[in-house]
Structure 1
Amino acid sequence: MVQVENVTTAKPKIDGSIYSAPKGTTLPTDAKTALNAAFKPLGYISEDGLKNKNSPKSDSIKAWGGDTVATVQTEKEDTFSYTLIEALNIEVLKEVYGADNVTGTLQTGITVKANSKELIEHPVVIDMTVRDGVFKRIVIPQGKVSEIGDISYNDSDAVGFEITLTGLPDKDGNSHYDYIIAPTVTP
């Protein structure tokens, strides 16, 4: 039976929505447990929100005469895209350039080294509220920043880092987990 109550939109949590932690950090396994202190918030993301592309790509096998007789999955990439707009947030800079390439504080001076060192996969958690206060948590056990868009510096837009994060398979072969819970249970 169709129910309009199952149709929803999504909003970030008030205190942030995307959290990043070093590789090896203990992951949450539900929507309500408080995050490990190693997870650091990445602040505001742009009004475009979060996009998850999780679609298989396939090749068709055709028989003589042109009929499609089978479809073979060739890949299934799981990517998340969003734009981090807190360009002065030290945690954002570490996410974009790598933790080893960012030192200092805003008060003492920040140094960012841009180089070709490969970024390391690490856990990322995305928290949001959907319809009627339902809480949703996406846990990406091994997220790897796989693309960074152009950085624009102008007087009409926030400086932002357009990120594509690829969810790599964990030991169980899963690239991400969704946990959803009703508001009657305190998240």
Structure 2
Amino acid sequence: MAGNVNAPRIWEGADLWVAPQGAPIPVFTADMADPWKPVGLLSEDGASEARDEDSNDFYAWGGKLVRTKRSKHKRTITVTALEDNLVVFGLINGDGSTFTTDTATGVNTRRVKIPRSEKMSFVLELFDGDVKRRRHIPIGEVTEVGEVALSESEMTAYELTITIYPGDDDTLYIDEDNDDTNVGVAPVEPAP
């Protein structure tokens, strides 16, 4: 049986980081640092990546498929933040909303305005024992926030859907890892 029993991953932990678009990312072996801000605790449900695109099939006479044209490719990552902190507040409410604290009374005031489009950079770090994968999304935006429960029977959580935009060279994201099960394994190349 072909395969490597050490190659499958169960990501036992994760962190999501956010920074202004274009912020430099620390080298893989270094910890994330300012201006990168942690989103905080994430749901045990993990993150999910979704792909969406249109495709059109072209057939020759007789019904033989000869080409498929793909277009309108879109990727998103969805993750659920469990903390009600200022980083999450900024992500779900966008530019224009404010948070202030009256130092005399200790009262916090959140002024929520209609969200505006705000592209940022994201890093999703995943951990499986000593294996770490860092996914750097240079251009992304929170484009959807799930329903927020305000209840005594459910924990308040914020489901964030991040739409990933391509850069000038069509790169959506960059993955780095220290997974030695991939060393020396080449991806399948299309025929010339």
Shorter-chain-normalised TM-score: which range? 0.7 to 0.9
Partner amino acid, structure 2, of 1:82: V
Name the residue aligned to 1:81.
Answer: 78
Q: Determine the C-alpha separation between the residues in 2 that align with 1:93 and 1:23.
A: 18
How far the C-alpha of 1:61 sits from its partner, in A, is 1.2
C-alpha distance 109-125 of structure 1, shift in aligned 2 (>3 A): same
Partner amino acid, structure 2, of 1:123: S
Name the residue aligned to 2:141.
Answer: 144
Question: Is this contact kept in 1: 2:122–2:140, CA < 8 A?
Answer: yes
One of 127, 130, 138 as aligned partner of 1:129:
127
Partner amino acid, structure 1, of 2:82: I
How far the C-alpha of 1:66 sits from its partner, in A, is 2.4
- Identity of paired residues, percent? 24
Name the residue aligned to 2:96.
Answer: 100
Q: Secondary structure at the match of 1:173?
A: coil
Name the residue aligned to 2:10.
Answer: 9
Q: Determine the C-alpha separation between the residues in 2 that align with 1:9 and 1:36.
A: 26
Q: Determine the C-alpha separation between the residues in 2 that align with 1:84 and 1:113.
A: 19
C-alpha distance 55-177 of structure 1, shift in aligned 2 (>3 A): farther
- Normalising by the residue count of structure 2, what TM-score does the alignment of the two structures yield? 0.82
- Normalising by the residue count of structure 1, what TM-score does the alignment of the two structures yield? 0.84
Which digits, 9 at most, give the CA deviation of each residue in 1:40-64, with x for residues without a partner? Answer: 1111121211001246542211223
Query: Over the residues paired in the alignment, what is the CA RMSD in angstroms?
Result: 2.1
Is 1:160 matched up with 2:139?
no
Q: Would you say how many aligned residue pairs link Structure 1 and Structure 2?
A: 176
Unaligned 5+ segments in structure 1 are none
C-alpha distance 99-35 of structure 1, shift in aligned 2 (>3 A): farther
Q: Secondary structure at the match of 1:75?
A: strand
How far the C-alpha of 1:35 sits from its partner, in A, is 2.2
Larger strand percent: 2
Larger Rg: 2
Name the residue aligned to 2:111.
Answer: 112
| Higher RCO (CA < 8 A, seq sep 6+) | 1
